[in-house]
Amino acid sequence: MNNTVNMVPVDHVALCTSLATISPLPDAALSVMHITARPLLTFNGMLSSLTQYGFPTEQCEYLGWRRKLEQHVMEAPDLNDTNTASVLRPHMERVNMTVDDKLMGKYLAWLVRAGFLPSLAIKNPAKTLPILAEGVVKAAGRSGA
């Protein structure tokens, strides 16, 4: 698979996050900062390192590999966010967050406006998408589809 993987060392992510906090960009203190691997790694390159380090591997068809990956993800345990909640608790009243139905509506409205989803096909849906505030609606990156 020659698809690329944006895989960045966690130390680099931590460094970028820390420096963005203590040394924000002049004239853009709250700017979005994406972290991208340079150069981008390919799946073939990433997976071939397994063999180089002594883990026996063999190439297989993508669909079979994907099915096994999906099965593994579905069986993965829930994350323990106790430490994160402990860090947040002194600074905010609510430490638990989720994407509720109202927020999902905003996400869907944004995806429609950005062109990732088509306009509604069902007439008279149970809920109508919210009207988004005016602003830039531009999607960056690639979809996994």
86 located within any domain: no
Q: What mean pLDDT do residues 78-103 have?
A: 79
Contact present, 43 and 3 (Cβ < 8 Å): yes
Residue 141 has a pLDDT of 58
Q: What mean pLDDT do residues 98-110 have?
A: 86
Cα 119 to chain centroid, rounded: 24
The candidate with the shortest Cα–Cα distance to 98, out of 107, 89, 90, is: 107
Please write the tens of the pLDDT for every residue from 23-61.
877 887 677 778 888 888 888 888 888 777 776 788 888
24 located within any domain: yes
145 located within any domain: no
Answer with the one of 47, 77, 107 that is the final residue of a domain: 77
**Do residues 108 and 72 both lie within one domain?**
no
88 located within any domain: no
**Do residues 126 and 71 both lie within one domain?**
no
Beta bridge partners of 118: none
Residue 67 has a pLDDT of 92
Beta bridge partners of 108: none
Please write the tens of the pLDDT for every residue from 118-137.
887 778 888 888 898 887 67
Q: What is the mean pLDDT of the chain?
A: 81
The CB density around residue 95, as the number of other CB atoms within 10 Å, is 14
Q: What mean pLDDT do residues 60-75 have?
A: 87
Q: What is the pTM of this model?
A: 0.50
**Do residues 2 and 73 both lie within one domain?**
yes
Cα 91 to chain centroid, rounded: 25
56 located within any domain: yes
Q: Both ends of the chain: CA-CA distance in Å? A: 15
pLDDT above 60 for 81: yes
84 located within any domain: no
82 located within any domain: no
**Do residues 105 and 69 both lie within one domain?**
no
> Domain range for residue 32?
1-77
User: Which residues lie below 8 Å from residue 107, measured CB to CB, with a gap of 6+?
Assistant: 99
**Do residues 63 and 124 both lie within one domain?**
no
Count: domains in the chain: 2
The CB density around residue 86, as the number of other CB atoms within 10 Å, is 10
Residue 145 has a pLDDT of 45
Stronger pLDDT, 145 or 120, i.e. the higher one: 120
